[in-house]
Structure 1
């Protein structure tokens, strides 16, 4: 499988020379050292994006055992499955692959569904689990009681994420949630990827980030670059073609 080179088309609003510090918040280096000192595996929500890759690499460098899990938006997309297999081989670790809460939410709201499917979907009564519920299920299934659940959230990624970090902090004990690279800049992320020769998934060449939705930004590049996967999306969301038709019509 051909993956995009590290750093490919990664955009940022960050000032590369400014350190990320927030008063009274522990540095990510210290957080990683404390996680390592606990000596217990840490869950990682792995989106296949640059920040979750950076979090995985940083925790691995700190001597933390990482238990990654991925949440798929559409079942069976080859470009997603191929990249998961690549990263399993790269890290030498199995990646648990589960449905994303958005998949259930999209189906329950009849997103891009023809009328004849609506009654069937309604009768199915799909659950809409929260991220915390998924983490709890993983803790139970993997026999990891109380395991921390890590993400790749960085304060410098956007004003909203910085505000969330100021408000909630990178360690939320009541949720067992932790952001182990919260103070990293984009330069730190790129450096970690380069040092470990860790490539980004192919969709960074298509739309500059990991697959994250069913709007035109993602659908059109997938249709152009992975037509079989686009057909797979249409098997689940038959009217998604209208998103491309609507956007192209208004251009």
Structure 2
């Protein structure tokens, strides 16, 4: 049995629970594969996306492409890590009142997304080959409600599937990532490629501009 057949077989079992599927949609390569597999397997598919900063053009464009390509609805939620960044003063003012912000976890977003979509499980693009953290996440987080149909895949399996299905690869926002975060490669990519989006991000994380000046003065 091929890895695609294994994934489709896993999704077939999930369909016996619900004819609808909810995909953790990031717009990255893995989530594109899982979304395509889900559309092939379920009567109805919805996605949900976690944003760091609302209203970024690069993100909105990516989401709209996903909606049109797969014909699905994509719900939006604040990323759970955003509150953590603010509480800890990452690229923003470390104000004592920030400590009162709620400590959201990924499972909280998952629970909210499933409740609002009225779908009892989530499909993710998590792979065991990604990292040790990812492997731990796959075995400890919401195991009963989260399915990882491409868990055994590798990077080149994902790329081969996208090409075979003629699904365009998403642009990289730094190193091998496709999402927007506060890592230096991601921030520099956003600054260079979507300067207006970078300015908007700096409205929330004003000291993120430090990475641009560091590159200018020190080349790093």
1:156 deviates by 2.5
1:151 deviates by 0.8
2:58 to 73, 79, 104: 79
Is the aligned partner of 1:149 residue 2:122? yes
Greater relative contact order (CA < 8 Å, ≥ 6 in sequence): 1
Alignment match, 1:129: 104
Residues 181 and 128 of structure 1: CA distance in aligned 2, closer, same or farther (over 3 Å):
same
Q: Quick check: 1:54–1:193 contact (8 Å CA) kept in 2?
A: yes
Q: Which has the larger radius of gyration?
A: 1
List alignment gaps of at least 5 residues for structure 2: none
1:212 deviates by 4.2
The whole-number CA distance in structure 1 between the counterparts of 2:132 and 2:90 is 30
The whole-number CA distance in structure 2 between the counterparts of 1:133 and 1:103 is 13
Alignment match, 1:42: 21
The whole-number CA distance in structure 2 between the counterparts of 1:87 and 1:46 is 9
Is the aligned partner of 1:95 residue 2:74? yes
1:143 deviates by 2.8
- Deviation track 1:167-222 (CA, whole Å, cap 9, x = no partner) reads x399922xx111011122323212321233222333x2754321242121111111
Alpha-carbon RMSD across the aligned residues, in angstroms, is 2.7
- Deviation track 1:131-163 (CA, whole Å, cap 9, x = no partner) reads 21212222222333xx11121011233455457
2:88 to 87, 109, 132: 109
Residues 59 and 103 of structure 1: CA distance in aligned 2, closer, same or farther (over 3 Å):
same
Residues 189 and 37 of structure 1: CA distance in aligned 2, closer, same or farther (over 3 Å):
same
Superposition pairs of residues 1-251 of structure 1, within 5 angstroms: 27-63=6-42, 65-114=44-93, 118=95, 121-122=98-99, 125-144=100-119, 147-158=120-131, 161=134, 168=139, 172-173=143-144, 176-202=145-171, 204=172, 207-251=175-219
TM-score, length basis structure 2: 0.85
Residues 171 and 195 of structure 1: CA distance in aligned 2, closer, same or farther (over 3 Å):
farther
Q: Quick check: 2:24–2:31 contact (8 Å CA) kept in 1?
A: yes
TM-score, length basis structure 1: 0.75
Q: Quick check: 1:39–1:64 contact (8 Å CA) kept in 2?
A: no
List alignment gaps of at least 5 residues for structure 1: 1-18, 21-26
1:113 deviates by 1.7
The whole-number CA distance in structure 2 between the counterparts of 1:30 and 1:143 is 23
Q: Quick check: 2:26–2:49 contact (8 Å CA) kept in 1?
A: yes
Q: Quick check: 1:101–1:130 contact (8 Å CA) kept in 2?
A: yes
Residues 182 and 170 of structure 1: CA distance in aligned 2, closer, same or farther (over 3 Å):
farther
Alignment match, 1:13: none
1:129 deviates by 1.8
1:41 deviates by 1.7
- Deviation track 1:224-248 (CA, whole Å, cap 9, x = no partner) reads 1111011011111111111333355
